[in-house]
Homo-oligomer: A and B are copies of this chain.
């Protein structure tokens, strides 16, 4: 193992801890994905999305693909946020063009009562992938592990797939909050075990994706999403092999709630593109680093415009002349229709424009 060899590039980890870095590090949500022809080739080889996601060799292959193209400052484990409910027995499957579904969504009190914790043995393919990716990375950049938040997982588990209005989930929330809390308890314990297993296997930072928390009222968000995410953070392994494992928390559409998010135990908050980073930093920059926040569709602009927009985001963060504590990213996953050459333009622009003295 090479785990004690220092990282060649640890700017991402340093930025999450608000330490100085020579430039603003960048990675891209869903950076290993369908916009890359080499990803599509591996997926074809694997036969299906789950055939890819459950095979550590393929996961390693696709995790490294964007790093071989672009000088990104972090790798993120290739996986799906729904591996955890799958390991709780819900039967994850994918319908082409429709996204993820569960064979056995949670609808009745009986369903909720018999819901087990995630079976960590069934998730061995994930921790195997983490170890294998760590080996393959050979200390180039840090590896990010991740999970869906307890609430976001619950949405999928109750709806049985995606939703526009989360009607089934919210009906349970308003009619039987006890059942939703019971699911959230089990999700919380499962997510803690899952993320700690990823850290044990070699993940050097972890990110908790609260993709659907933003669908809640400010009031329900605190009770049903943030409180459980906070419990996850409180029970994660803080240090592994002599180094702090930084934590990122991201609620899409959570910009109004930054003050409470900043106190939830994360080292950094992910932000979507609706917020001005200068405002976000004024509100919480003394507590946490910030990750974001370019509109992913900006990558459909010509390279010169991409560069201008990237410079705008960097400048918003560094309005006070302190550029530390910022990890550049998109405000949401990259679109599958993105031209990879535009990603290259973005990565280079961020590195060049942010080189200190900015």
> A residues near B, CB below 8 A?
165-167, 170-171, 174-175, 214, 216-221, 253, 255-256, 273-276, 279, 295-298, 300-302, 305, 312, 331, 335, 337
User: A175 contacts which chain B residues (CB < 8 A)?
Assistant: 300-302, 305
| Chain B residue at minimal CB-CB distance from A278 | B218
A274 to B214, Cβ gap below 8 A? Answer: yes
Identify the interface centre among A218, A255, A300: most chain B CB within 10 Å of its CB.
Answer: A218
| Chain B residue at minimal CB-CB distance from A299 | B174
Identify the interface centre among A275, A279, A297: most chain B CB within 10 Å of its CB.
Answer: A297
User: A275 contacts which chain B residues (CB < 8 A)?
Assistant: 218, 256
Show 30 residue pairs from A and B whose CB-CB distance is below 8 angstroms, ordered by the A residue. Answer: A165-B296, A165-B335, A167-B297, A167-B337, A171-B300, A174-B298, A174-B300, A174-B301, A174-B305, A175-B300, A175-B301, A175-B302, A175-B305, A216-B295, A217-B273, A217-B295, A217-B331, A218-B273, A218-B274, A218-B275, A218-B276, A219-B312, A221-B274, A253-B253, A253-B274, A255-B255, A255-B256, A256-B256, A256-B275, A256-B279
User: A219 contacts which chain B residues (CB < 8 A)?
Assistant: 276, 312
Min CB distance A27 to B, Å, is: 20
User: A170 contacts which chain B residues (CB < 8 A)?
Assistant: 295, 297, 300
Assuming A167-B300, A256-B279, what are 5 further A-B pairs, CB within 8 angstroms? A171-B300, A174-B305, A217-B273, A218-B274, A218-B276
User: A302 contacts which chain B residues (CB < 8 A)?
Assistant: 174-175
User: A214 contacts which chain B residues (CB < 8 A)?
Assistant: 274
User: A305 contacts which chain B residues (CB < 8 A)?
Assistant: 174-175
B312 to A165, Cβ gap below 8 A? Answer: no
A297 to B165, Cβ gap below 8 A? Answer: yes
User: A253 contacts which chain B residues (CB < 8 A)?
Assistant: 253, 274
Docked pose: A171 CA to B300 CA in angstroms: 6
Identify the interface centre among A217, A295, A298: most chain B CB within 10 Å of its CB.
Answer: A217
Docked pose: A275 CA to B254 CA in angstroms: 10
User: A256 contacts which chain B residues (CB < 8 A)?
Assistant: 255-256, 274-275, 279
User: A331 contacts which chain B residues (CB < 8 A)?
Assistant: 217
Docked pose: A167 CA to B255 CA in angstroms: 22
A335 to B167, Cβ gap below 8 A? Answer: yes
Docked pose: A342 CA to B274 CA in angstroms: 34
Docked pose: A298 CA to B312 CA in angstroms: 40
B274 to A174, Cβ gap below 8 A? Answer: no
User: A296 contacts which chain B residues (CB < 8 A)?
Assistant: 165
User: A174 contacts which chain B residues (CB < 8 A)?
Assistant: 297-298, 300-302, 305
Min CB distance A217 to B, Å, is: 4
Min CB distance A308 to B, Å, is: 10
